[in-house]
Chains A and B, each alone.
Chain A
């Protein structure tokens, strides 16, 4: 265990030295018998803080017993039960739920991290808690409330959204999660003119992909919800009234040509039935990168003239969804500059990213600002990565375990979550 012994930059008294040695004996025992990583009780990594940092001691806790719960993880895996005391701590999304709840919603780097660490841990942060508390308290008779998460690039908006989505799914809501609205307004190879409406364009591939993921997320609802209207697709095909939603979705997945219209139909049905008293369910519409729905697209028609977002079926239907003319659910949206088109990289406020039109459509909404890591949150994240030395050898550089190394990390990342993650990725 000599390799774990950090070189302390200040002279340690005898008591401190004894304490450190005692601590390392404990770590040795911990390492030997705690091999399962989902329930790891790692004692706090005390020497890193040093006895000089007084304010951090309160945050860390005063436990000196070996069976302490680690300060950066919590056992409370249910988002509904999480509260302020869990702020800054990581909770694990159970592996069984992981693929059903988040088939497509997570940021790509986070997905890689999940694959590497073999566990999906999400930090409990203030914006997500605020959002969840709003969702708990809101009454669903009034028209839907719209929440907008905004913040600088890499501050954790998508992760907060996913946290809220996890809450909704554990509460039995029907989740409509659009991973990135920007994907629908750019890089589309096939643009078919819509059969339903002459001037609109279909995007079959994106629509069918989304329907597939939608099906994975909401399996249990598909058989329960019945259609209220008859839909005619072609001369020979139609879906009758009263058929389960699942059939519609399957049809949309298999018949790629009409998948965009199927999406529109699904959205319409859900909108109508969301707040209903008989067999009512709550509907959560989670849209990431909602500023992509207004603005410009990079798609072009055959005569090289640009396509406006309204002319896309998917976007049109989604906009109708976001309008607050239905009740029985909530709309949670995030702004995203990363995938946005024609937006300057320094823009992060709603006004800048949504534009006039978008702002007017979204208005009124509840803004939820997402900030960079606070001291405590940074601490947690740092310890989380550090913890993975024992099991996954994540932060390998010995200097990163020292106080100096931590200060360097703070400086270089300015406590920006994504920057920190990228930094630690190759340390």
Chain B
């Protein structure tokens, strides 16, 4: 801002005149005229505070800013009450005269012609007299190192593009079947305790690394921090098929749900007849939902009319018996199916025993969750 520049300049100017004038040269006149003016300048500018005001003419701006600075300092408390300052013409003229005198002094100091001392000369002389560290290259704000590195990378890429050597290599690290290290495992690896935030940050950074184009270069590094997941289906024990005297394949399976236990004897090349505890399944499970549960494993593997089933079930209610039989049927069907089909069945949830059981009743409550009726008093 020009006014602040001018103010600083004034400040410097006055200071310089004060210091440069040796005491012996200070005659009364000098002191009276030059010193007073310089002193008044010093006084005015010494306690200045920067004020930004938009006045059209350069000179008035300088004068006004000086005046405002002074008035703001002197009448700080009454600034709001005072309102905008009004300056008299006489005062303005006086300030301008003082500025011109100071300018002539500065020209004298610099050994230049006072008549042709321009504003640019004033700036240069002040910069010479008071070298400021503000404009030094080392004082400029520096950006952090990572960004410079990124910039360097970008520059490199641009150079490659210029030479047509830049290829988007889309080779990705295969992450299927592995997971990141857990916090405990990482702590073990690095032999130091890690906070949750640190761990989260670590995962974040690794994910970011993986999102970059050439991440496959650092595959070893990344794989060091990943663990393989065990393939679940390989844990499934599939019993071999058994053959009865007529050469018909059969297999058994059993399942449990809640309190019901069911066993199933599945026979191949049948017509889709099912008997449960000796009775027909339509008769045993009059509810449609239960029959749908029985149908689900067969329908899923599309073998609806192929098997004959002899089931026996006990315990529980009708729904849990149906669930137990469904699990038993799925398990019995495993022997007839291939590996891939076993995997699809496992993913469909047909081979998982349902872990839900009746929740325990707690003391002080009427049931497992139900509380006693709350009475206000």
Contact = CB atoms under 8 A, between A and B. Distances in A.
Interface in A201-223: none
A412 B272 contact: no
B302 A404 contact: yes
A292 B295 CA distance: 37
A63 to B, nearest CB: 27
A407 B288 contact: no
Interface in B224-250: none
B298 interface: yes
Interface-centre pick from A153, A407, A416 (highest chain B CB count, 10 A): A407
Nearest to B302: A404
Contact of B295 (A152, A346, A411, A419): A411
Interface stretch (B16-24, B33-41, B180-188, B276-284): B276-284
A423 interface: yes
B335 to A, nearest CB: 21
Interface-centre pick from A153, A408, A412, A419 (highest chain B CB count, 10 A): A412
B299 interface: yes
Interface string A384-427: 00000000000000000000100110111110100100010000
Contact of A413 (B282, B283, B304, B305): B282
B292 interface: yes
A414 B288 contact: no
Band of interface residues on B: 10 to 19
A345 interface: yes
Nearest to B305: A407
Nearest to A414: B282
Contact of A412 (B279, B283, B288, B305): B288
Nearest to A372: B282
**Dominant secondary structure of chain A at its interface with chain B:** helix
A152 B283 contact: yes
Contacts of B304: 404, 407-408, 410-411
B302 A419 contact: no
Band of interface residues on A: 10 to 19
Nearest to B294: A411
A98 B129 CA distance: 124
Given A404-B302, A411-B298, A411-B304, A416 B279 contact: no
B280 A414 contact: yes
A410 B298 CA distance: 13
Contact of B272 (A345, A346, A411): A411
Given A408-B295, A408-B299, A423-B288, A414 B305 contact: no
B295 A416 contact: no
A408 B305 CA distance: 9
Interface string B53-97: 000000000000000000000000000000000000000000000
B282 A419 contact: yes
Contacts of A408: 295, 299, 304
Contacts of B288: 412, 423
A412 B302 contact: no
Contacts of A412: 288, 291-292, 295
A372 to B, nearest CB: 9
Contacts of B299: 404, 407-408, 411
Given A404-B304, A411-B272, A414-B280, 7 more contacts: A152-B280, A152-B283, A410-B272, A412-B292, A414-B281, A416-B282, A419-B282
Interface of A: 152-153, 345-346, 404, 407-408, 410-414, 416, 419, 423
18 contacts: A152-B280, A152-B283, A153-B283, A404-B299, A407-B304, A408-B295, A408-B299, A408-B304, A410-B305, A411-B272, A411-B291, A411-B299, A411-B304, A412-B295, A414-B274, A416-B282, A419-B282, A423-B288
